[in-house]
């Protein structure tokens, strides 16, 4: 199966990056805002700095999130993530990393998502070439997850 066929199986998982003031309650306020529109946070990574925090969010409804951020004037960026369901915590991670290393593709950053509805662990990765990484991981036997697999 080639990468063009893979992307036809689902919408890529989108991540939103939002800069928040580095103060108590800022992240909670963001999550509450999302929940007012029935949007759940499925994945979260927080990068800390002295004055501001970059929160990376994977959500259950990216389109509504984008409209909400635009409506509220919240600056954000978004990108596509490769998400895989992990078979096993230790060996599965190493196999994934080895597959991408042998293919000579880089991971810019990665973090775990909340467990899937079936209870599987999931790993989200931002890679240098989305289509290529999808193809490599699919050929290596990994279960790829798309936005509709994550939306609850």
Task: Tell me the pLDDT tens digit for each residue of 83-103.
Answer: 998 866 666 788 888 888 888
**DSSP assigned state of 1:** -
Inter-residue contact 17 to 78 (CB < 8 Å): yes
**Nearby residues of 150 by Cβ (< 8 Å), 6 or more positions away:** 13, 42, 58, 60, 83, 113, 116, 122
Against a cut of 0.95, is the pTM above it? Answer: no
Task: Tell me the pLDDT tens digit for each residue of 38-77.
Answer: 999 999 998 877 778 889 999 999 999 999 999 999 999 9
Is residue 24 helix, strand or coil?
coil
Per-residue model confidence (pLDDT) at position 89:
60
**DSSP assigned state of 149:** H
- CATH fold of the domain at 15-79: VC0802-like (3.30.2130)
Strands 41-48 and 52-59: antiparallel
**Token digits for 71?**
């409506």
DSSP state string for 35-62: HTTT--EEEEEEEE-SSEEEEEEEES-H
- CATH fold of the domain at 3-12+80-150: Alpha-Beta Plaits (3.30.70)
Is residue 61 helix, strand or coil?
coil
- Domain range annotation of the chain: 3-12+80-150, 15-79
């Amino acid at each position: 199966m080639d990468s063009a066929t893979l992307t036809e199986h689902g919408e890529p998982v989108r991540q939103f990056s939002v800069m928040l003031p580095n103060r108590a309650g800022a992240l909670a306020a963001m999550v509450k805002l999302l929940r007012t529109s029935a949007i759940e946070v499925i994945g979260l990574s927080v990068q800390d700095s002295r004055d501001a925090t970059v929160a990376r969010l994977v959500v259950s409804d990216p389109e509504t999130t984008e409209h909400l951020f635009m409506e509220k004037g919240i600056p954000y960026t978004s990108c596509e993530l490769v998400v895989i369901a992990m078979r096993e915590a230790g060996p599965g991670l190493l196999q994934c990393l080895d597959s991408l290393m042998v293919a000579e593709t880089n991971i810019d950053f990665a973090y775990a998502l909340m467990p899937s509805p079936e209870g599987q662990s999931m790993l989200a990765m931002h890679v240098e070439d989305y289509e290529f990484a999808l193809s490599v991981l699919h050929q290596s036997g990994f279960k790829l997850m798309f936005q509709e697999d994550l939306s609850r």
